[in-house]
Amino acid sequence: MSTVKLSPPIHSQFSSHHNPSTTSDRGIVFHEKVRYLKALKVNPEKAFRLNPKLRSSPLAALESVTRCLYSLGVPRASLGRILDMHPVLLTCNPYYQLYPLLDFLLHEVAIPFPDVHLCIIRCPRLLVSSIDNQLRPTLFFLRELGFCGPHSLTCQTTLLLVSSLEDTLLPKIEFLKSLGFTHIEVSNMVVRSPGLLTLSVMKNLAPKVEFFLKEMNGDVSELKRFPQYFSFSLERRIRPRFGMLRQLGVSVPLEDMLKVSDGEFNARLLELRFKTLEFGVG
């Protein structure tokens, strides 16, 4: 594991001038922690409720956690959001719970150190996920699926590591196979469009497939060529744009219909209307 230099303590930035080690007044110590949490923009009531150990933990324990995250490159502005989201981190031991994650990301996932904090900011759940039971098995699965070499996980896709194999990843793979795609074709699709693995089958993938096949009379082979289709909103983009094209009696490839901005799509639509009128007049 690479040697990581801890940043200077940030106690003076977040806490008051009281020194808990020199007083036996538990009330003062408690209020010290409350002030510290508020300065971090962590909801104290929520933190104490979700992490009872926080009441008996010294302020120094909280400071060690913030120092650790800060040393990993997590900006102070993001510390509060992460700790408020996962208060259990406030009383964790960085050397047993945080630095092993750093080692895993650096040496097993092969994330460059400057990008580690981006992984954490994008997916704080990494900090509270078991490496042995969750992250490593999922990494192996994703690599077998095709996320390796030039398609290796990056700070943008490490959020896939917190996905459940049985409940999240495998059902999506099986759904795509049920459309008639081979395992290799599905692998190519998800590697090109990793967001597919974050979408709900029932709420997202299935309704879009049904609309594509029944309303658009589409061919599933086009989904293989343009898997990004699933990343667009059915109600806000796919359905309305297809409806406007259908009114003109024209069809365009999925990529041309969906990837362009609203302004460019409207300009193309206007051009198609003029062409339709010219053809009709002629």
Q: Each residue of 174-205: pLDDT tens digit? A: 999 999 899 999 999 999 999 999 999 999 99
Per-residue pLDDT, 274? 78
Paired tokens of 96: 């047993």
pLDDT tens digit string along 199-224? 999 999 999 999 999 999 999 889 98
Least confident stretch, 26-35, 57-66, 161-170? 26-35
Name the residue among 91, 53, 82, 70 with its Cα closest to residue 13: 70
User: CA-CA distance, 228 to 238, in Å (whole number)?
Assistant: 12
Paired tokens of 275: 């062409």
The verdict on residue 8 lying in a domain is: yes
pTM: 0.79
The verdict on residue 217 lying in a domain is: no
The verdict on residue 42 lying in a domain is: yes
Least confident stretch, 24-33, 65-74, 182-191? 24-33
The verdict on residue 239 lying in a domain is: no
Per-residue pLDDT, 150? 92
User: CA-CA distance, 113 to 126, in Å (whole number)?
Assistant: 15
Mean pLDDT of 232-236: 94
Confidence of residue 25 (pLDDT cuts 50, 70, 90): low
What are the distances in angstroms from CA 141 to CA 109, 112, 163, 168? 12, 21, 11, 12
The verdict on residue 213 lying in a domain is: no
How much of the chain, in percent, has pLDDT values that exceed 90?
A: 72
Please determine, for residue 59, whether its predicted confidence score (pLDDT) is greater than 80: yes
Per-residue pLDDT, 145? 95
Average pLDDT of the residues of the chain: 88
Per-residue pLDDT, 148? 94
**Number of C-alpha atoms within 13 angstroms, CB side, residue 111?**
25
Number of domains in the chain: 1
| Choice between 182 and 16, residue whose per-residue pLDDT is larger | 182
Per-residue pLDDT, 5? 44
Tell whether the torsion through CA atoms of 109, 112, 114 and 115 is positive or negative: negative
The verdict on residue 174 lying in a domain is: no
Please determine, for residue 115, whether its predicted confidence score (pLDDT) is greater than 80: yes
**Number of C-alpha atoms within 13 angstroms, CB side, residue 134?**
17
Segments forming the whole domain that contains residue 86: 1-97
Mean pLDDT of 135-154: 96
CB 128 within 8 A of CB 91: no
Please determine, for residue 282, whether its predicted confidence score (pLDDT) is greater than 50: no
Please determine, for residue 6, whether its predicted confidence score (pLDDT) is greater than 90: no
The verdict on residue 69 lying in a domain is: yes
The verdict on residue 7 lying in a domain is: yes
Per-residue pLDDT, 278? 61
CB 89 within 8 A of CB 50: no
Please determine, for residue 8, whether its predicted confidence score (pLDDT) is greater than 60: no
Mean pLDDT of 236-246: 94
Per-residue pLDDT, 132? 97
